Amino acid sequence: MAEPVSDPNTKYKVGKVLSRYDLLDLHAALPEMWVGESGDSKSLRDLADEINTAVLRRAMERAGSDPLDGEAENAYQLLTGDGVSAGVRTQQRNRLERDGVDVEQLEDDFVTHQAVYTYLTKALEVSKDTADDADPLEKHEKRIQRLRSRTVAVTENSVSELKAAGDLSLGSFDVSVDIRVYCQECQTQYDLTDLLRAGGCDCD
């Protein structure tokens, strides 16, 4: 399993959509959400629904709305749910259009579970089938790297939004996250990656 790229790969639809709607935190989280730990992984359909709901929420926000908790999820269900009548679906489309959402563009940006699979396996080179066979140290190193990438993406997104809104005075910036482990026995501090790749510290 390869480490995820820091930015969405816009050669693929999922990458284009995540980039277009500034969903960098979700992009960084996708590999972990799919592979996860035992019992914690999400299906491709669940991931597609999560991406589409996030896209809908961001479209509502950009149109000037401030969606309440669960509002975007409910709107997405009314737009795409199998048991939703054509009349109810049309009412939801009209409601979004009145609020300034380009529903036609929105629905064109919705992704399928097949597109999510292609993005994970081709663009991000994530392999769920081989995750359990990986070397334990390598497996955990990659898991932590994914979480670190997510932290960087979320921080960059938050700082950029605060800066754009005028709430934070800051020039050009970069975000980095260093993880260190301190061994109390030999009183030595290690970079996490170096520690894992070395297989341990200098304690006997």
Predicted confidence (pLDDT) per residue in 5-19, tens digit: 458 899 999 999 999
Residue 108 in this model has a pLDDT that exceeds 90? yes
- Both structure tokens of 143: 């898991």
Cα separation, 174 vs 189, whole angstroms:
24
Predicted confidence (pLDDT) per residue in 87-96, tens digit: 999 999 999 9
Between 107 and 126, residue with greater pLDDT: 107
Residue 32 in this model has a pLDDT that exceeds 80? yes
Q: Yes or no: say if 123 and 7 are a contact pair by the CB < 8 Å rule.
A: no
Residue 1 in this model has a pLDDT that exceeds 50? no
Residues 108-115: what's their mean pLDDT?
95
Spatial CA neighbour of 73 closest among 46, 97, 94: 46
Residue 2 in this model has a pLDDT that exceeds 60? no
- Quote the pTM value: 0.65
Residues 69-77: what's their mean pLDDT?
94
* pLDDT at residue 114, as a whole number: 92
Q: Yes or no: say if 180 and 189 are a contact pair by the CB < 8 Å rule.
A: yes
| Contacts of 152 by beta carbon, 8 Å cutoff, 6+ apart | 6, 28, 175, 176, 177
Cα separation, 50 vs 46, whole angstroms:
6
* pLDDT at residue 74, as a whole number: 95
Phi, psi of 179 (to 5 degrees): -115, 120
DSSP for 89-152 reads: HHHHHHHHHHTT--HHHHHHH---HHHHHHIIIIIS---STTGGGS-HHHHHHHHHHHHHHHHH
Q: Which amino acid is at 86?
A: A
Residues 129-154: what's their mean pLDDT?
70
Kindly report the average pLDDT of the chain as a whole number.
85
34 Rama sector, left if φ>0, alpha if ψ -120 to 50, beta otherwise: alpha
Cα separation, 65 vs 93, whole angstroms:
15
Best-predicted range by mean pLDDT (3-7, 74-78, 137-141, 173-177): 74-78
